[in-house]
């Protein structure tokens, strides 16, 4: 029976990682893999995480099952950081731990489908796994252009998509630091989006994968808080991969807000059943370590300080790129107005290959770059390579 399966194409970014490792040129630049990197090219473990993990080693007395909801201390500890004053305290908002942000997105979409959603509106381009999850769940993707050519968000595309949507539709929005474009909605645009959703039957799913890496923890949460305040039913997927550096430990959370506590309880019971059938329960270690951080004021401040240093480095790289102006045919100035780790460059696949071949610059074939892969020491070389290939 298994011989009936078709061969699937390998993940392009994983293949790119192998090519980069095999390249012996000392000046090679990796802008492909989506992890934060220091100025030295490392992706270190947070010191706050190390401190929490040591406490976990010293004090954890059991590895027994927790259940499909995971570590609820971790789930509740995140709430004030994500939702702030927008979090209702009347039982309308509940959550559960998931295996990474991917697990949270999958769970949110599966729950939406079970509730009657059949179509999902989504700005494109988006994180590739969004479309793959929708396809696997047999949910129809209704795309609209997310960004304008000048590096601003395409509000007309979003307005049109919502105007043509109805009952049985959901909309998937990036909370901040859009992947792959880096183009975020402004606070005024989020206010408009919240107003449009307030008067629409469309249920929003907000994917918050990079909080703290844009303008700040509160600033990056403006959109999700605005929507939570205006709209009774909201699904939220949260990832701790980037802002806690927990990539391989798979730490995420799913939250649901409804109009009343009874409906929220029913929604969570269905989400728990879906989780039980999918992964039974999430891995505990990473969530437990983050819970320890969030329960301790000193560790929390250490984490926030580390996150601030990451944010400032990304901002410095973006500012330097923007100051370079035009490299060949590529205008780098908009990158200074965008947020987070990623940006899209208007280059062809052939130019991407030439950058790799002639200049040891590795990036996704789509033109997406990981800004955090650049340093103040190699930006000039990157800009020169871009000018050479696209000029």
Q: What residues act catalytically? A: 127, 207, 209, 242
Question: CA separation (Å) from 161 to 135, 141, 357?
Answer: 19, 12, 41
Task: Cis check for the bond before 213: say yes or no (omega within 30 of 0).
Answer: no
Contacts of 348 (CB under 8 A, 6+ apart): none
Q: Report which of 289, 287, 295 is spatially closest to residue 95, judged by C-alpha positions.
A: 287
Crossing angle for the helix pair 285-295 and 47-59, nearest 10 degrees? 100
Q: Report which of 55, 65, 90, 103 is spatially closest to residue 299, judged by C-alpha positions.
A: 55
Tokens read off for 219: 């600033």
Q: Report which of 225, 258, 224, 210 is spatially closest to residue 111, judged by C-alpha positions.
A: 258
Q: What is the rounded distance in angstroms from the CA atom of residue 106 to the CA atom of residue 237?
A: 9
Dihedral over alpha carbons 199, 202, 207, 208 (to 10 degrees)? 20
Question: CA separation (Å) from 251 to 51, 60, 171, 285?
Answer: 17, 18, 24, 9
Q: If you write DSSP's letter for every residue of 67-123 in order, what string do you get?
A: -TT--HHHHHHHHHHHHGGGS-SSSSEEEEEEEHHHHHHHHHHHHHHHTT--EEEEE
Any idea how long the chain is? 391
């Amino acid at each position: 029976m298994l011989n009936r399966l078709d061969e699937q194409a390998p993940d392009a970014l994983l293949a790119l990682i192998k090519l980069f490792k095999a390249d012996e040129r000392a000046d090679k630049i990796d802008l492909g893999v989506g992890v934060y990197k220091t100025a030295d090219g490392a992706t270190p473990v947070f010191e706050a995480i190390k401190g929490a993990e040591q406490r976990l080693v010293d004090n954890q007395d059991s590895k027994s099952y927790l259940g499909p909801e995971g570590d609820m201390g971790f789930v509740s500890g995140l709430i004030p950081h994500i939702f702030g004053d927008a979090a209702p305290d009347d039982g309308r908002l509940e959550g559960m731990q998931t295996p990474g942000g991917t697990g949270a997105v999958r769970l949110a979409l599966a729950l939406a489908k079970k509730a009657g959603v059949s179509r999902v509106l989504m700005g494109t381009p988006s994180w590739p796994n969004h479309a793959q999850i929708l396809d696997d769940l047999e949910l129809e993707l209704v795309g609209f252009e997310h960004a304008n050519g000048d590096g601003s968000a395409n509000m007309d595309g979003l307005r049109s998509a919502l105007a043509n949507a109805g009952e049985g539709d959901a909309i998937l929005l990036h909370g901040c630091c859009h992947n792959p474009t880096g183009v975020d909605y402004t606070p005024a645009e989020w206010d408009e989006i919240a107003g449009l959703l307030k008067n629409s039957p469309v249920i929003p799913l907000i994917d918050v994968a990079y909080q703290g890496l844009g303008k700040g923890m509160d600033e990056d949460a403006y959109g999700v808080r605005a929507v939570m305040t205006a709209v009774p039913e909201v699904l939220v997927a949260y990832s701790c991969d980037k802002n806690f550096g927990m990539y391989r430990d798979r730490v995420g959370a799913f939250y649901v807000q409804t109009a009343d506590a009874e409906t929220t309880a029913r929604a969570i019971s269905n989400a728990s059943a879906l989780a039980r059938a999918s992964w039974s329960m999430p891995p505990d270690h990473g969530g437990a370590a983050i819970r320890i951080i969030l329960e301790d004021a000193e560790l929390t401040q250490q984490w926030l300080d580390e996150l601030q240093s990451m944010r400032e480095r990304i901002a410095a790289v973006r500012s330097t790129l923007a100051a370079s102006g035009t490299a060949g045919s590529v205008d780098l100035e908009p990158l200074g107005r965008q947020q987070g780790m990623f940006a899209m460059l208007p280059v062809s696949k052939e130019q991407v290959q030439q950058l790799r071949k002639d200049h040891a610059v590795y990036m996704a074939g789509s033109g997406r770059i990981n800004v955090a892969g650049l340093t103040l020491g190699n930006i000039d070389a990157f800009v020169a390579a871009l000018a050479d290939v696209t000029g």
